[in-house]
Amino acid sequence: MEKKAVRKVQTDEDVKRKAVKLVLVHLKKKIESPFQGKESVVEWMDKMDLLLSEEDFVTAEYHQMRKEFNDIIERTLDYEIRSRLRDSWFSLGKALDKKVKRH
């Protein structure tokens, strides 16, 4: 008897979760150097990691986290770091808009 591989049906939430995780990975690389306000970004990323670890993907919670991230960006004094964070903020918005590709 031949076993057929059972493929998990990917949902929009799965795609969004994966995209958000990728944004966080890139964000961690962007903030490796010290800057004033880094603690706030790290704390926000920790909260985001906790949210990603939850089983349910509630889009409203992620949008709230994006608003919180925007507040952190606005309080960041270093122009270069603020620009990097802003790029991640835009990427996070795109990640939350992702959907499963339909054939």
Contacts of residue 88, Cβ cutoff 8 Å, sequence gap at least 6: 23, 26, 27, 30, 69
Residue of 21, 10, 25 lying closest to 95 (CA atoms): 21
- Rounded distance between C-alpha atoms, residue 33 and residue 53, angstroms: 26
pTM equals 0.85
Tens of pLDDT, residues 9-37? 789 999 999 999 999 999 999 999 999 99
Residue 81's region, left for phi above 0, alpha for psi from -120 to 50, else beta, is alpha
- Rounded distance between C-alpha atoms, residue 95 and residue 103, angstroms: 20
What mean pLDDT value characterizes the chain?
92
